[in-house]
Amino acid sequence: MNVSRFLGAAMVAAALVLSGCASDSSKRSAGEFGSDAALTSKVKTAIATDAGLGSASAINVNSYRGVVQLSGFVDSQEKIERAAKAARGVDGVRSVENNIRVRPSS
């Protein structure tokens, strides 16, 4: 019983060690993750301070390596364009994927 437990633990340990050797260029380092979070925050602030956008809480912002994705619902096409313009104006933004939509009337 002890031998099988030892072998199981050894296999798990070996798998963990080997998985650390594999490289995955799509994963972010701690620095990149921090940069993405800072960029997201800067874009949210830029959108919120735009006087015509009202509450920026209806707009979701995600960043990955300088690419900013906007999503959510607003009241007009003009607000969609203003949010994208505000995002593009932030230092560090390489491109903006604007998926904001006009809220359907109820």
pLDDT for 3-18, tens place per residue?
455 444 544 444 444 4
**Domain ranges (residues) in the chain:** 28-102
Which is nearest to 73 in space by CA: 102, 97, 93, 53?
102
Q: Which CATH code of 3.30.1340.30, 3.30.230.70, 3.30.1330.30, 3.40.50.1100 fits the domain covering 28-102?
A: 3.30.1340.30
- The ranges of the chain with pLDDT < 50 are 1, 3, 6-8, 10-25
Amino acid identity of residue 58, one-letter, is A
Structure confidence at residue 52 (pLDDT): 65
Give the type of residue at 76.
S
Taking the mean position of all CA atoms in its chain, how far away is CA 104? 26
Task: Give Cβ neighbours of residue 37 (< 8 Å, ≥ 6 apart).
Answer: 63
Q: pTM for this one?
A: 0.67
